[in-house]
Amino acid sequence: MNAFTIRLPDETADKLDRIAEKMDRSRAYVAAQAIEDFIAREEWQLAEIQTGLAEAVRGEFANDGEVERVFNKYSAPGRSK
């Protein structure tokens, strides 16, 4: 396991301490969990972006009908086009 130092604004460190206290965990534990959550989310998002870029390079785009179906699905009912 690696250890390193980070600098946080006082307000952020105070919030981290309050959360750690409420969880009955150490500041280091809560910070490590937050970093792990961030990494998992960013890895997923970057992988999805890479997948989308690869599809675009291959010319795999939605056709007009597919775009219209999605637009209609999420547009407000009764809203004019």
Mean pLDDT of 10-36: 97
Q: Give per-residue pLDDT as tens, 25-72.
A: 999 999 999 999 999 999 999 999 999 999 999 999 888 999 999 999
Distance CA 20, CA 13 (A): 10
CB atoms within 10 A of CB 31: 17
Residue 59, classed as helix, strand or coil, is coil
What residues does each domain of the chain span? 10-74
Is residue 76 predicted with pLDDT exceeding 80?
no
Q: What is the DSSP string of 5-30?
A: -----HHHHHHHHHHHHHHT--HHHH
Residue 8 is predicted with a pLDDT of 96
Show the tokens assigned to 10. 């006082």
